[in-house]
A and B are shown apart, each in its own frame.
Chain A
Amino acid sequence: MKSMTKNLMAAALLMALPVGASFACTTTAWNGNTGAAAGAEAGGPLASTGGFARYSGDCALRTGAGEFVTDNTPGGTGSGGESVYRARFYVLTSGTGKVFSATTGDSNGGAEVVGVTFDGSAFTFSGATGVSPIPATANRWYSVEISHNSGGAFSAVVQGNGGATATTQSGTSAAASVGSASLGLLAGTGSMIVDEFESTRSADTAIGRLCPGDTNASGTYSATDLARIRNEILTILSASPVLAGGQPDANESGGVTATDISVVRAKILALQTACP
Protein backbone atom coordinates (compact mmCIF):
# COMPACT_ATOMS: atom_id res chain seq x y z
CA MET A 1 0.00 0.00 0.00
CA LYS A 2 1.29 3.41 -0.83
CA SER A 3 1.99 5.36 2.27
CA MET A 4 1.29 9.07 2.21
CA THR A 5 3.24 10.60 5.01
CA LYS A 6 3.11 14.22 5.94
CA ASN A 7 5.58 14.74 8.72
CA LEU A 8 5.80 17.83 10.83
CA MET A 9 9.33 17.01 11.84
CA ALA A 10 12.36 19.10 10.99
CA ALA A 11 13.35 19.64 7.41
CA ALA A 12 16.26 17.60 6.18
CA LEU A 13 19.61 18.85 7.45
CA LEU A 14 22.75 19.35 5.43
CA MET A 15 24.97 16.40 6.25
CA ALA A 16 27.81 18.71 7.28
CA LEU A 17 25.88 20.30 10.08
CA PRO A 18 26.61 19.09 13.63
CA VAL A 19 23.89 17.49 15.78
CA GLY A 20 23.51 20.64 17.78
CA ALA A 21 22.55 22.83 14.87
CA SER A 22 19.15 24.44 14.87
CA PHE A 23 16.41 22.84 12.84
CA ALA A 24 14.07 24.49 10.40
CA CYS A 25 10.52 23.33 11.28
CA THR A 26 8.35 23.64 8.24
CA THR A 27 4.90 22.95 6.85
CA THR A 28 5.97 22.99 3.21
CA ALA A 29 5.32 19.26 2.84
CA TRP A 30 1.58 19.97 3.09
CA ASN A 31 0.66 20.44 -0.55
CA GLY A 32 -2.91 21.68 -0.11
CA ASN A 33 -2.38 24.58 2.26
CA THR A 34 -4.86 27.40 2.08
CA GLY A 35 -4.63 30.78 3.74
CA ALA A 36 -5.55 29.02 6.97
CA ALA A 37 -2.02 27.66 7.16
CA ALA A 38 -0.46 31.09 7.33
CA GLY A 39 -1.00 31.45 11.06
CA ALA A 40 -0.08 27.89 11.96
CA GLU A 41 3.19 27.88 13.84
CA ALA A 42 5.68 25.10 13.15
CA GLY A 43 8.06 24.94 16.08
CA GLY A 44 9.02 23.12 19.20
CA PRO A 45 10.29 23.24 22.77
CA LEU A 46 13.35 25.36 22.08
CA ALA A 47 12.86 29.01 22.88
CA SER A 48 14.17 29.82 19.41
CA THR A 49 11.40 27.75 17.80
CA GLY A 50 8.47 28.93 19.90
CA GLY A 51 8.96 27.12 23.16
CA PHE A 52 5.97 24.81 22.95
CA ALA A 53 5.51 21.08 23.30
CA ARG A 54 6.06 18.51 20.62
CA TYR A 55 5.31 14.78 20.72
CA SER A 56 8.17 13.48 18.65
CA GLY A 57 11.40 14.76 17.23
CA ASP A 58 12.07 18.47 17.35
CA CYS A 59 8.94 20.09 15.98
CA ALA A 60 5.17 20.17 16.11
CA LEU A 61 2.45 22.51 14.81
CA ARG A 62 0.70 24.96 17.10
CA THR A 63 -2.58 26.26 15.75
CA GLY A 64 -5.16 28.78 16.88
CA ALA A 65 -8.78 28.80 15.79
CA GLY A 66 -9.06 28.65 12.05
CA GLU A 67 -5.43 27.72 11.51
CA PHE A 68 -4.63 24.39 9.89
CA VAL A 69 -2.56 22.65 7.23
CA THR A 70 -3.99 20.62 4.38
CA ASP A 71 -2.85 17.59 2.43
CA ASN A 72 -4.20 17.24 -1.13
CA THR A 73 -2.45 13.93 -1.75
CA PRO A 74 -5.55 11.72 -1.32
CA GLY A 75 -6.88 10.81 -4.72
CA GLY A 76 -3.93 12.33 -6.55
CA THR A 77 -4.36 15.11 -9.10
CA GLY A 78 -7.67 15.82 -10.74
CA SER A 79 -11.08 14.73 -9.54
CA GLY A 80 -11.73 11.67 -7.42
CA GLY A 81 -10.63 10.67 -3.97
CA GLU A 82 -9.80 7.78 -1.71
CA SER A 83 -12.73 5.55 -0.86
CA VAL A 84 -10.52 3.81 1.69
CA TYR A 85 -8.52 6.19 3.84
CA ARG A 86 -6.69 5.82 7.12
CA ALA A 87 -5.02 8.60 9.09
CA ARG A 88 -3.24 8.89 12.41
CA PHE A 89 -2.09 12.03 14.20
CA TYR A 90 -1.14 13.21 17.66
CA VAL A 91 -2.88 16.12 19.36
CA LEU A 92 -2.21 17.95 22.61
CA THR A 93 -5.68 18.77 23.90
CA SER A 94 -4.85 22.30 24.98
CA GLY A 95 -7.95 23.82 23.37
CA THR A 96 -11.34 22.68 22.13
CA GLY A 97 -12.70 22.29 18.65
CA LYS A 98 -12.27 20.40 15.41
CA VAL A 99 -8.71 19.17 14.97
CA PHE A 100 -9.06 17.05 11.86
CA SER A 101 -11.26 17.07 8.79
CA ALA A 102 -11.13 14.94 5.68
CA THR A 103 -13.26 16.33 2.85
CA THR A 104 -14.25 15.29 -0.65
CA GLY A 105 -12.55 18.18 -2.42
CA ASP A 106 -9.04 19.55 -2.48
CA SER A 107 -7.85 22.21 -0.08
CA ASN A 108 -10.48 21.41 2.56
CA GLY A 109 -13.25 21.89 0.04
CA GLY A 110 -16.35 19.85 -0.60
CA ALA A 111 -18.31 17.89 1.94
CA GLU A 112 -16.86 16.53 5.15
CA VAL A 113 -16.12 12.81 5.07
CA VAL A 114 -14.54 12.47 8.52
CA GLY A 115 -14.22 14.99 11.31
CA VAL A 116 -12.54 14.72 14.71
CA THR A 117 -13.35 17.17 17.48
CA PHE A 118 -12.17 17.52 21.07
CA ASP A 119 -14.92 19.05 23.18
CA GLY A 120 -12.99 19.41 26.42
CA SER A 121 -13.64 15.95 27.79
CA ALA A 122 -13.95 13.64 24.80
CA PHE A 123 -13.16 13.13 21.13
CA THR A 124 -16.25 13.11 18.94
CA PHE A 125 -16.49 12.05 15.35
CA SER A 126 -18.48 13.52 12.48
CA GLY A 127 -18.99 12.49 8.88
CA ALA A 128 -19.24 8.90 9.99
CA THR A 129 -22.40 7.90 11.84
CA GLY A 130 -23.06 5.91 14.99
CA VAL A 131 -19.64 6.59 16.51
CA SER A 132 -19.69 7.09 20.25
CA PRO A 133 -17.43 9.70 21.85
CA ILE A 134 -14.11 8.61 23.36
CA PRO A 135 -13.32 10.28 26.71
CA ALA A 136 -10.05 12.20 26.95
CA THR A 137 -8.39 14.58 29.36
CA ALA A 138 -7.54 18.17 28.53
CA ASN A 139 -3.91 19.22 28.12
CA ARG A 140 -2.56 15.76 27.37
CA TRP A 141 -1.14 14.09 24.27
CA TYR A 142 -3.35 11.60 22.44
CA SER A 143 -2.94 9.59 19.27
CA VAL A 144 -6.06 9.42 17.11
CA GLU A 145 -6.31 6.94 14.26
CA ILE A 146 -9.35 6.89 12.00
CA SER A 147 -10.20 4.33 9.36
CA HIS A 148 -12.71 5.27 6.64
CA ASN A 149 -14.23 2.87 4.12
CA SER A 150 -16.80 4.63 1.96
CA GLY A 151 -20.26 3.45 2.97
CA GLY A 152 -18.74 0.69 5.04
CA ALA A 153 -17.06 0.27 8.38
CA PHE A 154 -15.57 3.21 10.25
CA SER A 155 -13.35 3.01 13.30
CA ALA A 156 -11.60 5.47 15.58
CA VAL A 157 -8.82 4.46 17.97
CA VAL A 158 -7.67 6.87 20.68
CA GLN A 159 -4.87 6.38 23.21
CA GLY A 160 -2.82 8.76 25.27
CA ASN A 161 -2.20 10.49 28.60
CA GLY A 162 0.13 7.64 29.47
CA GLY A 163 -2.63 5.10 29.28
CA ALA A 164 -1.69 1.50 28.61
CA THR A 165 -4.63 0.67 26.38
CA ALA A 166 -6.47 2.24 23.48
CA THR A 167 -10.18 2.92 23.19
CA THR A 168 -11.89 2.00 19.93
CA GLN A 169 -15.26 3.08 18.67
CA SER A 170 -16.89 1.91 15.48
CA GLY A 171 -19.58 3.20 13.17
CA THR A 172 -20.52 3.60 9.53
CA SER A 173 -18.41 5.65 7.16
CA ALA A 174 -19.93 8.33 5.00
CA ALA A 175 -20.55 7.23 1.43
CA ALA A 176 -17.86 9.49 0.05
CA SER A 177 -14.21 9.58 -0.91
CA VAL A 178 -11.46 11.69 0.63
CA GLY A 179 -9.88 14.35 -1.54
CA SER A 180 -7.97 16.26 1.12
CA ALA A 181 -7.23 16.11 4.84
CA SER A 182 -6.71 19.06 7.17
CA LEU A 183 -5.05 19.12 10.57
CA GLY A 184 -4.90 21.84 13.19
CA LEU A 185 -7.70 23.77 14.86
CA LEU A 186 -10.18 24.20 12.04
CA ALA A 187 -12.71 25.79 14.38
CA GLY A 188 -12.80 26.18 18.13
CA THR A 189 -11.24 28.04 21.02
CA GLY A 190 -7.76 28.30 22.39
CA SER A 191 -4.98 26.50 20.59
CA MET A 192 -4.09 22.93 19.74
CA ILE A 193 -0.73 21.39 19.04
CA VAL A 194 -0.60 18.57 16.51
CA ASP A 195 2.21 16.29 15.44
CA GLU A 196 3.20 13.13 13.56
CA PHE A 197 0.50 12.89 10.92
CA GLU A 198 0.49 9.80 8.73
CA SER A 199 -2.06 8.48 6.25
CA THR A 200 -2.43 5.34 4.15
CA ARG A 201 -4.90 3.61 1.85
CA SER A 202 -5.03 0.48 3.98
CA ALA A 203 -8.36 -0.84 5.18
CA ASP A 204 -6.81 -3.49 7.37
CA THR A 205 -3.36 -2.46 8.54
CA ALA A 206 -3.20 0.01 11.37
CA ILE A 207 -0.64 2.79 11.24
CA GLY A 208 -0.16 2.39 14.99
CA ARG A 209 1.54 4.49 17.59
CA LEU A 210 5.01 5.75 18.27
CA CYS A 211 6.62 4.59 21.49
CA PRO A 212 6.44 7.18 24.27
CA GLY A 213 9.73 7.22 26.16
CA ASP A 214 11.78 5.74 23.33
CA THR A 215 14.16 8.48 22.28
CA ASN A 216 16.40 6.59 19.85
CA ALA A 217 13.96 4.46 17.85
CA SER A 218 15.31 1.30 19.44
CA GLY A 219 11.88 -0.08 20.21
CA THR A 220 12.97 -0.59 23.81
CA TYR A 221 13.42 1.37 27.02
CA SER A 222 17.02 1.57 28.16
CA ALA A 223 19.84 3.60 29.68
CA THR A 224 20.15 5.64 26.51
CA ASP A 225 16.61 6.91 26.83
CA LEU A 226 17.21 7.92 30.44
CA ALA A 227 20.33 9.85 29.48
CA ARG A 228 18.62 11.71 26.64
CA ILE A 229 15.54 12.65 28.63
CA ARG A 230 17.74 13.82 31.49
CA ASN A 231 19.83 15.94 29.12
CA GLU A 232 16.82 17.65 27.61
CA ILE A 233 15.46 18.55 31.02
CA LEU A 234 18.81 19.92 32.17
CA THR A 235 19.61 21.90 29.03
CA ILE A 236 16.30 23.10 27.59
CA LEU A 237 16.67 26.58 29.04
CA SER A 238 20.40 26.81 28.56
CA ALA A 239 22.35 28.47 25.78
CA SER A 240 23.07 25.05 24.27
CA PRO A 241 19.92 22.98 24.55
CA VAL A 242 19.98 19.33 23.56
CA LEU A 243 16.67 17.78 22.61
CA ALA A 244 16.19 14.11 23.38
CA GLY A 245 14.96 12.94 20.01
CA GLY A 246 12.20 10.41 19.59
CA GLN A 247 9.36 10.65 22.08
CA PRO A 248 10.75 11.86 25.43
CA ASP A 249 7.39 12.70 27.01
CA ALA A 250 6.99 9.18 28.35
CA ASN A 251 3.74 9.83 30.21
CA GLU A 252 2.29 12.07 27.47
CA SER A 253 1.65 14.85 29.95
CA GLY A 254 2.54 17.63 27.53
CA GLY A 255 5.97 18.31 29.02
CA VAL A 256 9.32 16.55 29.42
CA THR A 257 10.04 16.33 33.15
CA ALA A 258 11.66 14.22 35.84
CA THR A 259 8.47 12.18 35.90
CA ASP A 260 9.30 10.91 32.43
CA ILE A 261 12.66 9.67 33.76
CA SER A 262 10.80 7.91 36.56
CA VAL A 263 8.35 6.35 34.10
CA VAL A 264 11.08 4.95 31.85
CA ARG A 265 13.20 3.81 34.79
CA ALA A 266 10.19 2.04 36.30
CA LYS A 267 9.58 0.21 33.02
CA ILE A 268 13.21 -0.94 32.89
CA LEU A 269 13.16 -2.10 36.49
CA ALA A 270 9.90 -3.95 35.91
CA LEU A 271 11.48 -5.72 32.90
CA GLN A 272 8.94 -4.00 30.63
CA THR A 273 11.67 -2.93 28.25
CA ALA A 274 9.88 -3.59 24.98
CA CYS A 275 7.78 -0.82 23.53
CA PRO A 276 4.07 -1.71 23.60
Chain B
Amino acid sequence: MKYSALFVSAVLLSGSVSAADLLVTESNSKAGVVASLDVVSDGNVSVFDFFLNTGKINPSGVDCSKCFADLPKGFTGSFKAHESGVQFVVMADGMTALPAGVVSLGQISFKTSAKIQPGSLAIERLEMSDVAGNVVQSNSRVAE
Protein backbone atom coordinates (compact mmCIF):
# COMPACT_ATOMS: atom_id res chain seq x y z
CA MET B 1 0.00 0.00 0.00
CA LYS B 2 1.58 3.27 -1.05
CA TYR B 3 -0.47 5.39 1.22
CA SER B 4 -3.87 5.40 2.73
CA ALA B 5 -5.89 7.31 0.16
CA LEU B 6 -8.71 7.71 2.60
CA PHE B 7 -6.39 9.17 5.24
CA VAL B 8 -4.80 11.63 2.86
CA SER B 9 -8.15 12.63 1.46
CA ALA B 10 -9.47 13.22 4.91
CA VAL B 11 -6.54 15.44 5.67
CA LEU B 12 -6.99 17.44 2.50
CA LEU B 13 -10.73 17.85 2.90
CA SER B 14 -10.52 18.77 6.54
CA GLY B 15 -9.25 22.21 5.63
CA SER B 16 -6.69 21.92 8.38
CA VAL B 17 -3.67 21.20 6.18
CA SER B 18 -0.81 23.53 6.96
CA ALA B 19 1.69 24.64 4.32
CA ALA B 20 3.12 21.13 4.40
CA ASP B 21 2.25 17.90 6.10
CA LEU B 22 4.14 14.71 6.77
CA LEU B 23 1.82 11.73 6.91
CA VAL B 24 2.69 8.31 8.30
CA THR B 25 0.20 5.51 7.84
CA GLU B 26 0.80 2.42 9.93
CA SER B 27 -0.43 -1.05 9.24
CA ASN B 28 0.25 -4.29 11.05
CA SER B 29 0.69 -7.83 9.82
CA LYS B 30 2.17 -11.08 10.99
CA ALA B 31 5.45 -9.99 9.44
CA GLY B 32 5.59 -6.86 11.51
CA VAL B 33 4.69 -3.20 11.29
CA VAL B 34 4.75 -1.29 8.02
CA ALA B 35 4.39 2.46 7.69
CA SER B 36 4.00 4.44 4.52
CA LEU B 37 5.49 7.90 4.34
CA ASP B 38 3.87 10.74 2.39
CA VAL B 39 4.27 14.48 2.11
CA VAL B 40 1.43 16.83 1.23
CA SER B 41 2.50 20.33 0.30
CA ASP B 42 1.96 23.38 -1.83
CA GLY B 43 5.09 22.55 -3.81
CA ASN B 44 7.36 24.44 -1.43
CA VAL B 45 9.30 21.72 0.39
CA SER B 46 12.94 21.34 -0.65
CA VAL B 47 14.59 19.79 2.40
CA PHE B 48 13.10 18.20 5.48
CA ASP B 49 14.13 16.11 8.41
CA PHE B 50 12.21 14.33 11.14
CA PHE B 51 12.53 11.69 13.81
CA LEU B 52 10.12 8.74 13.74
CA ASN B 53 9.82 7.80 17.37
CA THR B 54 9.07 4.11 17.75
CA GLY B 55 9.54 3.58 21.44
CA LYS B 56 12.31 1.19 22.39
CA ILE B 57 13.21 -1.10 19.48
CA ASN B 58 16.01 -3.24 18.15
CA PRO B 59 17.49 -1.07 15.37
CA SER B 60 18.64 -4.11 13.42
CA GLY B 61 15.01 -4.97 12.80
CA VAL B 62 14.40 -1.78 10.83
CA ASP B 63 14.06 -2.29 7.07
CA CYS B 64 14.38 1.00 5.23
CA SER B 65 15.19 -0.53 1.85
CA LYS B 66 11.97 0.96 0.49
CA CYS B 67 11.89 4.15 2.56
CA PHE B 68 12.67 6.29 -0.47
CA ALA B 69 11.46 3.98 -3.25
CA ASP B 70 8.94 6.53 -4.46
CA LEU B 71 11.00 9.66 -3.89
CA PRO B 72 10.98 11.88 -6.99
CA LYS B 73 14.08 12.03 -9.09
CA GLY B 74 16.46 14.70 -7.95
CA PHE B 75 15.92 14.06 -4.27
CA THR B 76 18.14 12.12 -1.88
CA GLY B 77 16.89 10.40 1.24
CA SER B 78 19.01 9.32 4.22
CA PHE B 79 18.12 7.52 7.42
CA LYS B 80 19.70 6.16 10.56
CA ALA B 81 18.04 3.74 12.95
CA HIS B 82 18.45 4.21 16.68
CA GLU B 83 17.13 2.34 19.71
CA SER B 84 14.29 4.84 20.10
CA GLY B 85 13.40 5.46 16.47
CA VAL B 86 14.60 6.40 13.03
CA GLN B 87 16.01 9.75 11.94
CA PHE B 88 15.29 10.83 8.38
CA VAL B 89 16.77 13.53 6.12
CA VAL B 90 15.40 14.20 2.64
CA MET B 91 16.80 16.91 0.43
CA ALA B 92 16.64 18.11 -3.11
CA ASP B 93 19.97 17.82 -4.87
CA GLY B 94 19.32 21.12 -6.57
CA MET B 95 17.29 24.21 -5.79
CA THR B 96 13.98 22.48 -6.36
CA ALA B 97 10.99 21.41 -4.33
CA LEU B 98 8.69 18.42 -4.09
CA PRO B 99 5.74 18.68 -6.46
CA ALA B 100 2.58 20.18 -5.04
CA GLY B 101 0.02 17.75 -3.73
CA VAL B 102 0.66 14.31 -2.35
CA VAL B 103 4.14 12.87 -2.80
CA SER B 104 4.84 9.35 -1.68
CA LEU B 105 8.26 8.73 -0.25
CA GLY B 106 8.08 4.99 0.32
CA GLN B 107 7.64 2.54 3.16
CA ILE B 108 9.49 1.63 6.29
CA SER B 109 9.13 -1.85 7.73
CA PHE B 110 9.79 -3.11 11.21
CA LYS B 111 10.43 -6.85 11.32
CA THR B 112 9.30 -8.80 14.33
CA SER B 113 12.91 -8.74 15.50
CA ALA B 114 12.58 -4.96 15.96
CA LYS B 115 10.11 -5.70 18.76
CA ILE B 116 8.13 -2.58 18.03
CA GLN B 117 4.83 -2.06 19.76
CA PRO B 118 1.99 -1.46 17.28
CA GLY B 119 0.57 1.99 17.55
CA SER B 120 3.76 3.43 19.05
CA LEU B 121 4.82 5.54 16.08
CA ALA B 122 5.14 9.26 16.60
CA ILE B 123 6.78 12.00 14.57
CA GLU B 124 9.10 14.40 16.34
CA ARG B 125 11.34 17.33 15.44
CA LEU B 126 9.93 17.78 11.97
CA GLU B 127 11.45 20.68 10.07
CA MET B 128 10.69 21.49 6.48
CA SER B 129 12.57 24.08 4.49
CA ASP B 130 11.71 25.76 1.23
CA VAL B 131 14.10 26.22 -1.68
CA ALA B 132 15.55 29.41 -0.21
CA GLY B 133 16.22 27.80 3.13
CA ASN B 134 13.30 29.28 5.02
CA VAL B 135 11.36 27.16 7.46
CA VAL B 136 7.99 26.06 6.11
CA GLN B 137 5.06 25.81 8.47
CA SER B 138 4.44 22.12 8.79
CA ASN B 139 2.49 19.49 10.64
CA SER B 140 2.64 15.75 10.98
CA ARG B 141 0.10 13.02 11.48
CA VAL B 142 0.20 9.33 12.17
CA ALA B 143 -2.71 7.14 11.14
CA GLU B 144 -3.31 3.49 11.82
Contact B132 A226 (CB under 8 A): no
15-72 of chain B: CB within 8 A of chain A = 46-49, 51
Closest to A215 in B: B133
The count of A-to-B residue pairs whose CB atoms sit within 8 angstroms is 64
Q: Does A244 contact B (CB under 8 A)?
A: yes
Which of chain B's residues have a CB closer than 8 A to the CB of A139? none
B129 touches A234 (CB 8 A): no
Alpha-carbon separation in the docked complex, A244 to B46 (Å): 15
Determine whether the beta carbon of B132 is less than 8 Å from that of A227: yes
Interface residues on A, range: 20 to 34
**Which A residues from 223 to 244 make CB contacts under 8 A with B?**
223-228, 230-231, 234-235, 242, 244
Residues of B within 8 A of A234 (CB): 94-95
A265 to B95, CA, bound (A): 17
- The interface residues of chain B lying within 8 Å CB-to-CB of A94 are none
Residue from A227, A244, A270, A271 within 8 A of B129 (CB atoms): A227
- A223 and B127 alpha carbons, distance in the complex (Å): 6
**Bound CA–CA A244/B91 (angstroms):** 16
- Rounded to whole Å, the gap between the CB of B85 and the closest CB of chain A is 9
Number of interface residues of B (CB under 8 A): 25
**CB neighbours of A222 from chain B (8 A):** 49, 127, 129
Bound CA span A224–B48, Å: 8
Q: B133 touches which one: A216, A268, A270 (CB < 8 A)?
A: A216
B79 within 8 A of A: yes
Contact pattern, A 200-228, Cβ under 8 Å of B = 1, otherwise 0? 00000000000000011000001111111
- B95 engages A269 (CB within 8 Å): no
Is A227 a contact partner of B47 (Cβ separation < 8 A)? Answer: yes
Question: In the complex, which of the residues A216, A230, A271 has the most CB atoms of chain B within 10 Å of its own CB atom?
Answer: A230
Cα–Cα distance between A230 and B132 once the two chains are bound (Å): 10
Q: Does B137 contact A (CB under 8 A)?
A: no
- With A223-B48, A224-B47, A234-B94 in contact, is A269–B89 under 8 Å at CB? yes
A172 is an interface residue with CB less than 8 A from chain B: no
A228 x B133 contact (CB < 8 A): yes
For B47, B82, B130, B135, which residue has the most chain A Cβ atoms within 10 angstroms?
Answer: B47
**Distance between Cα atoms of A178 and B132 in the complex (Å):** 44
Contact in complex: A231, B132 (CB < 8 Å): yes
B128 on interface, CB distance cutoff 8 Å:
yes
A225 to B51, CA, bound (A): 17
For B90, the closest partner residue in chain A by CB is: A223
| Cβ of B120 under 8 Å from chain A | no
Residues of B within 8 A of A270 (CB): 80, 87
- Chain A residue at minimal CB-CB distance from B126: A223
Nearest CB to that of A229 among chain B residues? Answer: B133
Any chain A CB within 8 A of the CB of B113? no
Q: Is B131 an interface residue (CB 8 A)?
A: yes
Interface residues of B in 95-144 (CB under 8 A from A): 95, 125, 127-135
Q: List 14 A-B contacts (CB under 8 A).
A: A223-B129, A226-B47, A226-B49, A226-B91, A227-B46, A234-B95, A244-B133, A268-B49, A269-B78, A269-B79, A269-B80, A269-B87, A271-B87, A273-B125
Interface set of B (CB-CB < 8 Å, partner A): 46-49, 51, 78-80, 82, 87, 89, 91-92, 94-95, 125, 127-135
- Write the residues of chain A forming the contact surface with B, with a CB cutoff of 8 angstroms: 215-216, 222-228, 230-231, 234-235, 242, 244, 265, 268-271, 273
| Apart from A223-B89, A234-B95: 11 A-B pairs, beta carbons within 8 A | A222-B127, A223-B127, A226-B47, A226-B129, A227-B91, A227-B130, A230-B47, A235-B95, A244-B133, A265-B91, A271-B51
| The 5 A-B residue pairs with the shortest CB-CB distance in the complex, in nearest-first order | A228-B133, A227-B133, A269-B80, A223-B47, A227-B129
